[in-house]
Amino acid sequence: MLGGSLYTTVRSPIYNLVTCTHDGLAFNAALVLFGCLLVCRTANRTALATLPTKESAKTSLENAVEALGVLDHGNRMVERCCHYLKQLISVLDSLGMRVSPQYLTRLTRETESAQSTEGIKQQARTIYASSDTRPPISTACLHQSPLAMDFGEFMLESDFDFLNHHFGSGIPGMEAFDTSYG
Amino acid sequence: MWSIIDSLYGQNINCDQSSGVGDTIARLFNTERELIDWERALPRNLRIWSSQDVLDNTNDTVTNENVRNENRLATILTLRYLNVRLLLHRPILIKFLDTSGKADEDCHELTLLQKIGSNSIQLSMQSAIDIISIVHAAVHATGRKRELLGAWWFSLYYSTISHI
């Protein structure tokens, strides 16, 4: 279930029913936060003026990754949740919501401790690089797993369609609004 | 939670009956009122804390076992409450996300969503940030504070079920 569609996961209440656990709560909260950031990216800034800042939201996503990593170390499902959230953070980074220096430092530390995992090193390099540039989101780019894993394990084709559509055209009727949240 | 699943998720029987923004908001407000009534009826020692309360009131200097247990239960109840509030307001987030797939979105629906739905987005973001903040603080704490989240087997049990 956790490896299912991002969009489906956000839509389905089943996730909440069966994961009233602290790893489940944190993961679900991070997914909702990601969805809110997508909405805020194109929504009317005046109407959403009282929102938490994007920096605090982004920091929370990074904290969720960190907390999940500690919460149930060695649990395969929790590890998948961590990896999944890292991918979402990479997506936000590609949209210009840069990762914090603390997150980069931690990612580098993980990279050094996992010297045998070239894929993770590649992820660190990707995020470092995208902090200065804003590469376009493409299905090909998303399919290329920086964790050297099949990205489809975490996302379905419908997720790529949804994300690409969302990033490509924004929310109809909202394009004229301030997009500085992103 | 049952009331939310029943009224806002079509009893969770996988029948996608999308309702209008106005209808969704009306149901949401009704359930929100029930949630507020429930919160007001809570005993004082189990009141819902803010995330800052959780971080401030659960330090290692509390030596009384009963108080420690009350703090732990209040923390768990707060997390559950925040999670239910996320579930309650998530249909509005879904409405916002759905608009990205509909070029012919009703402009009146969209206006209503922007005017009233923004509060749900704000509540969802704050609830999500609070949940992550509490869990993050608890897992990085030492000593008694580390016990705030309760038994680990409980997490593992439900994690296994969710994985299935």
pLDDT one-digit tens code per residue, B18-77: 677 778 888 888 888 988 999 899 888 788 888 788 777 766 666 677 877 888 888 888
Which residues, 6 or more positions from B86, have their beta carbon under 8 angstroms from its beta carbon? A16, A28, A29, A32, B124, B127, B128, B131
Q: pLDDT, tens digit, for every residue of A46-103?
A: 455 567 777 888 888 888 888 888 877 777 877 888 888 888 888 888 777 665 666 6
Cα-based distances in Å from A55 to A73, A89, A114, A157, B132: 27, 12, 28, 29, 14
Nearest CB among B96, B99, B162 relative to A2 is that of B162
Q: Which residue of A has its CA nearest to B147?
A: A71
Cα–Cα distance, A38 to A47 (Å, whole number): 15
Nearest-CA distance from B70 to chain A in Å? 18
Say yes or no: B77 contacts chain A, CB-CB below 8 A.
no
Whether the per-residue pLDDT at A111 is higher than 60: the answer is: no
Whether residue B123 lies within 8 A of chain A, CB to CB, comes out as no
pLDDT at A180 over 60: no
Which residue of A14, A67, A169 is in closest CB contact with B139? A67
A46 vs B44: CA distance, rounded Å: 37
Q: Using 50, 70 and 90 to split pLDDT, how confident is the model at B100?
A: low
Dihedral of CA B128/B119/B105/A13: which sign? positive
Contact A124, A93 (CB under 8 A): no
Give residue A85's pLDDT: 85
